[in-house]
Amino acid sequence: MADTAATVPAVGGAARAEPRGRKPRRALSRRNIIIYGTLIVAAVYYLLPLYVMIVTSLKGMPEIRLGNIFSPPLEITFEPWVKAWATACTGLNCDGLSRGFWNSVRITIPSVILSIAVASVNGYALANWRFKGANIFFTILIIGAFIPYQVMLYPIVIILREIGLYGSLTGLVIVHTIFGMPILTLLFRNYFSAIPEELFKAARVDGAGFWTIYLKIMLPMSLPIFVVAMIIQVTGIWNDFLFGVVYTGPETYPMTVQLNNIVNSTQGVKEYNVNMAATIITGLVPLVVYFVSGKLFVRGIAAGAVKG
């Protein structure tokens, strides 16, 4: 690593005038160029698709056919967006993504609430209350996190059919809750385990029982982990495709399934701008969650990375 250090002066007995103080560093040193250069190139690779998405969605079709995908729109139009939302055809119906959006909302919100409620109570029970067989079942749950979903797809179809929920939003909510349990239970269990046991013991000495301790002591202390769990679940459930396409029907398709239908199954002329607008709209919700949550998202990843 050659630096622009002054040559070490030969010994002269008396102290030399230079070098002194801070070592001179060029802002444009070779090291900096390599580091920032690579990072910027990488950033372009990552940002390019987003740019292209946005730009394409704002152009009219004639412009797209003529120009190249990287050029900014000559005339900005929001018509593709309106079309994507309200009138795009999926082959079965033509009311755009809005149907899928509201389906996704109706799927995500109850799923998130239910899965977090169940998993947090389970994690709390596992962390603080010992009972026979708990560890075995927990282990099975964790193993379940690794099993490819494909293996369990059909049995669940059968179960849902039996209860009459196959094809309904409620059925899908239940599926999401079930499959969210391993990761979330692990997350909450680890979090609650880290809370000093003395707190728990003191509450027991005060006479508090299972639910009291959970509601009055554990919950108020757990805001960060709840936020992380929410991030994992909202992102995972909103982005899900497999469960959506297996367990729902055309009326109840979530946004991702609808999106795929709109883009990949239209006959005739492909409206690329509408497709891109639809893609952006679908990706908007988790992106917003991502940018708002910042560092918490990173934490959520570390914890929930096993989930697909």
Partner 1 sequence: MSTDRPIRLFRNLNAKISAIPMIATALVVFVGGTFWTIVYSFTNSKLLPRAKFVGLDQYERLWGTNKWLISIENLFIFGICSLIFSFIIGFILAALLDQKIRFEDTFRSIFLYPFALSFIVTGLVWQWLLNPDFGIQSVIRSLGWESFNFDPLYNADIVIYGILIAALWQGTGLVMCLMLAGLRGIDEDIWKAARVDGIPMWKTYLFIVIPMMRPVFITTIVIIASGIVRVYDLVVAQTSGGPGIASEVPAKYVYDAMFLSQNLGQGFAASTMMLLSVAIVVIPWAYLEFGGKKHHG
Partner 2 sequence: MASVSIKNLFLSFGEVKVLQDLNLDIAEGEFLVLLGSSGCGKSTLLNCIAGLLDITDGQIFINENNVTWEEPKDRGIGMVFQSYALYPQMTVAGNLSFGLKNAGVARAEIEKRIKRAAEILHIEPLLERKPAQLSGGQRQRVAIGRALVRDVDVFLFDEPLSNLDAKLRAELRVEIKRLHQQLAGTTMIYVTHDQIEALTLADRIAIMRDGAIQQLSDPHTIYNKPVNKYVAGFIGSPSINFLEGDVTREGAPRFAAGDMTVSLEQYEFESDSSGGRAVFGIRPEHVAFGDPAKQSPYTCEVPVEVVEPMGSDTLVWTRLGGQEFRFRVDGQITVSAGQTVRIGFDPARASIFDSQTELRL
Measure the CA–CA gap between 96 and 285, rounded to whole angstroms: 17
From the list partner 1, partner 2, none, which binds 121 (C-beta under 5 to 8 Å, kind-based)?
partner 1
> Is 252 exposed, middle or buried (CB count within 10 Å of its CB: 0-12, 13-18, 19+)?
buried
Nearest distance from residue 5's CB to partner 2, in Å? 4
From the list partner 1, partner 2, none, which binds 199 (C-beta under 5 to 8 Å, kind-based)?
none
From the list partner 2, partner 1, none, which binds 11 (C-beta under 5 to 8 Å, kind-based)?
partner 2
From the list partner 1, partner 2, none, which binds 260 (C-beta under 5 to 8 Å, kind-based)?
partner 1
Token digits of residue 149: 């979903």
DSSP-derived letter for residue 249 is -
Nearest distance from residue 81's CB to partner 1, in Å? 16
Q: Chain centroid to CA 210: how far? A: 32
Residues making contact with partner 2 (CB under 8 A): 1, 3, 5-6, 8-9, 11, 13, 15-16, 18-24
The 8 Å CB, 24+ separation contacts for 79-82 are 80/271, 80/273, 80/274, 80/276, 80/277, 81/57, 81/277, 81/281
Nearest distance from residue 242's CB to partner 1, in Å? 6
From the list partner 2, partner 1, none, which binds 19 (C-beta under 5 to 8 Å, kind-based)?
partner 2
Residue 31 to residues 3, 4, 24, 41, 246, Cα–Cα distance (Å): 10, 12, 14, 15, 52
Between 1 and 17, CB nearer to partner 1: 1
Helices and strands, counts by H and E, the chain: 15, 0
Nearest distance from residue 113's CB to partner 1, in Å? 14
Between 16 and 129, CB nearer to partner 1: 129
Between 18 and 162, CB nearer to partner 2: 18
Q: Chain centroid to CA 15: how far? A: 61
Between 15 and 46, CB nearer to partner 1: 46
Between 6 and 147, CB nearer to partner 2: 6
